[in-house]
Chains A and B, each alone.
Chain A
């Protein structure tokens, strides 16, 4: 079993849809959770950062962490064509960069 697994995608949705992107993990020590957005031929950019369990909202984006189920989600409300990108989850047991583990990414297309 891989340490971090992510819905493989690709995922296509119509503009305005609610999108749910998910990752599962096996290491119960993970406590820092991040979502990165990567546009084609660009580097990943940090989208959301959460510590431990709970929800965090930022505009149209909500990150949800359920440590008991080892499951994290990113919700995008009112999705826009500009949200079309690959979304990578990342997590770490310690707040040190070299320990970050990335999921394989889910490619999202929002169709106008």
Chain B
């Protein structure tokens, strides 16, 4: 398993500003993912971040809006740029890790609740 720390846990942001969310993992992992969960909705994958390479974005998400850094195997950041009220959401950092030798699965951080006003 993996223990994932995210900050900030919540924030209220002004329209047009940008906010960077940090994600720290307690062990080295290859795959890190950023998800968005809009109110009452399920999880939508924004991008996959591998250390040493550019993030891979899913359809509908672009680097200019959601730049991602992955400087090492335990840390990543997601920036939500030029925010609008539609960006109000929970943003979740997650990692792929082993389940005690029985294959891999995804573990999530506590999430960062952003409200854009």
Which has the most chain A C-beta neighbours within 10 Å: B43, B90, B102, B104? B43
Contacts of B111 in A (CB 8 A): 41-43
Kindly report which residue of chain A lies nearest to residue B112, judged by CB atoms: A43
Complex interface residues of chain B between 81 and 95 (CB less than 8 A to chain A): 90, 92, 94-95
Contacts of B45 in A (CB 8 A): 98, 100
Contacts of B6 in A (CB 8 A): 43
Using C-beta atoms within 8 Å of the partner chain, give the interface range for chain A: 20 to 34
A97 engages B108 (CB within 8 Å)? no
B105 engages A49 (CB within 8 Å)? yes
Kindly report which residue of chain A lies nearest to residue B110, judged by CB atoms: A43
Q: Which of A45, A95, A103, A104 contacts B108 (CB 8 A)?
A: A45
Bound Cα distance from A103 to B41, whole angstroms: 9
Bound Cα distance from A88 to B42, whole angstroms: 8
Q: Is A32 an interface residue (CB 8 A)?
A: yes
Contacts of B42 in A (CB 8 A): 88, 102-105
Say whether, besides A97-B104, A102-B42, A41 and B96 are in contact (CB < 8 Å).
no
Complex interface residues of chain A between 29 and 57 (CB less than 8 A to chain B): 32, 34, 36, 41-46, 49, 51
Q: Is A90 an interface residue (CB 8 A)?
A: yes
A42 engages B31 (CB within 8 Å)? no
Smallest CB separation, A102 vs chain B (Å): 4
A97 engages B96 (CB within 8 Å)? yes
Contacts of A90 in B (CB 8 A): 106
Contacts of B90 in A (CB 8 A): 41
A95 engages B43 (CB within 8 Å)? no
What are 18 inter-chain pairs, A to B, with CB distance below 8 A?
A32-B103, A32-B105, A41-B90, A41-B111, A41-B113, A42-B111, A46-B1, A46-B99, A46-B105, A49-B99, A95-B103, A97-B48, A97-B94, A98-B33, A98-B56, A100-B106, A102-B43, A104-B42
Which residues on A are within 8 Å of B, measured CB to CB? 32, 34, 36, 41-46, 49, 51, 88, 90, 95-98, 100, 102-105
6 closest Cβ pairs, A-B complex: A97-B96, A43-B108, A104-B42, A43-B111, A102-B43, A43-B110
